[in-house]
Amino acid sequence: MNLVEMVEKNSRLYPRKAAFVEIKTLSKEREEIHWEAFHDRTNRLANALLDRGVTKGDKVFILGKNSINWIEAYFAVLKAGGWVVPLNFRFTNDDIAFCAGVAEPKAFILAEEYGDRAQEMRSQLGTVKEYVIIGKKSVEGMDLLDDVIQGGATGLPDVSLDYGDDCGLYFTSGTTGKPKPVLLTHLNLLSTAIAELTTHDLKEPDRFLMMPPLYHLAIAHLLGTMLAGGTNVLLTEQITPQFLLQAMSDEQISVVFLLVPWALDLLEALDKGVLKKEDYDLSHWQLTHMGAQSIPPSIVQRLKEHFPDMKYDTDYGLSESTGPGPLHLGMENGHKVGAIGKPTMMWDARIVDPDGNDVAQGEVGELVVKGPGVMKAYYKNPELTAETIKDGWLYTGDMSSMDEDGFISIVDRKKDVVICGGENIFPVEVENVILRHPKVFDVAVIGTPDKRLGEKVTAVVDVVPDESMTEEELNAFLEENLPRYKRPRQIIFDKVPRNPTGKIEKPKLRDKYC
């Protein structure tokens, strides 16, 4: 069964059950669509795209913030045999033009707020023949999504789909340069849905709160819930601790994925009594999982103090592995929090030296993974593909170690290691210690130039709101908790920039302080 067949099956087995719910936190609007209607609308849109000249293998841009309509566009493109090309809604015009030059899209489905920009860019989007607007505001030469759906024929399109068919082109966030195009197949997307379902033990009654941006491969969390026949609830417009708990209460959420910034905000609100968990019905909440970066154990420990009955899991993945799937901590392994876990079903993992040889247990090397979610290629870039995938093993760029029980921990990104006086210092280790200080809200550690040492460890510290901290105060704490050579030689009090998937944007900090 592929993802297209999954939608058909759910529409047959659970026709009147909610497939998706969209909650707009600021406007207080709530929209719901059941499986039968979702299947019908995506069939109609797929047939309409085919009628407009989109054929199997054609690329279709999708640009917009999370919404039910965005998901409809995604699955309609898959049903038509096209390639979904989700775009980061924070991309500049130059970024979009770059992606268009690589992908050569045939059609563009976009939210109305981007309509005028797309109109201005038409000359740079020369391969695009069809424009479809999500929303109510029409733009000259662009049709509204609902009108296109209404004009489409019913019934599943007569398009043959194979597991090995290409179906997705995901451009990485571009925080280290131009976005890289990751080419995915139907099998890639299905495998990540299976990994989510099996590792989190998802069932048909589950209701998952989806907050990460859909253009990113965190969409795997949503696909896993869909595969189980569950309901995905989209929290849109603004995410705050209050909106989070209110949605979990009102929508009887059983599973939630948190990025580190959201977890920190929630903990801060609970610790200060701004929110009281007793004011919300959280009786359905069974599981929280986190990922997109190394998860500081202190955050999980604080969550468990507030919610002792909550199960916890850590996800690990990257765009090139079709998102989460290769490794999970496992809900039964709370004693190993801090590690990212072990390989999941159908996946394997090793830690290797620069020559590709396995390192000894406990030593640091690069994590490599192999499994059905490994991307097909970097599109149109065979050289970079060959550097990244060797004999089927995906080289992740994550420096890692494995303990005596086989649990793998991320030490840091290969490119983020600070070399101070010849010593390799891994920023994540330092960040995890600093985060244990009760006055620290967030922290990022980078290497900054030093004439004598080459690089020095610099900590950018974001203090808890309404608190104050001095360098002396933090240094006194670190003297008791970190070896001297790992301690920051420079402390800067500033905000820590994070991208929409929660990862620290260290290139921005290096540009600012190096």
pLDDT tens, residue by residue, 250-299: 999 999 999 888 998 999 999 999 999 999 999 999 999 998 777 888 89
Q: What domains appear along the chain, each with residue ranges and CATH number? A: 3-17+34-196 (3.40.50.12780), 200-413 (3.40.50.12780), 417-513 (3.30.300.30)
Let me know: does 375 contact 184? Beta carbons within 8 Å.
yes
Whether the Cβ atoms of residue 165 and residue 81 lie closer than 8 Å to each other = yes
User: According to the model, what pLDDT value does residue 303 have?
Assistant: 94
Q: What is the pLDDT of residue 174?
A: 47
What is the pLDDT at residue 295?
A: 83
pLDDT at 173: 61
Q: What is the pLDDT of residue 175?
A: 43
Helix (H) or strand (E) run with residue 238 in it: none
The dihedral sign for the CA sequence 91, 92, 95, 101: positive
* Residue 12: predicted pLDDT: 97
Q: In the chain, what percentage of residues exceed pLDDT 90?
A: 76
In this prediction, residue 216 carries a pLDDT of 86
pLDDT for 261 equals 82
CA distances from 137 to 7, 114, 133 (A): 29, 11, 8
The C-alpha atoms of residue 191 and residue 341 are separated, in whole angstroms, by 18
d(C-alpha 363, C-alpha 354), whole Å: 13
CA 481/CA 436 separation, integer angstroms: 10
SS3 state at 435: coil
Residue 288 half-sphere exposure toward CB, CA atoms < 13 A: 25
Name the pTM for this structure: 0.85
Three-class secondary structure assignment of 58-126: CEEEEECCCCHHHHHHHHHHHHCCCEEEEECCCCCHHHHHHHHHHHCCCEEEEEHHHHHHHHHCHHHCC
**Predicted pLDDT of residue 217:** 87
Helix/strand/coil for 281: coil
pLDDT for 176 equals 47
Can you list the residues of the chain whose pLDDT is less than 50?
Answer: 174-176
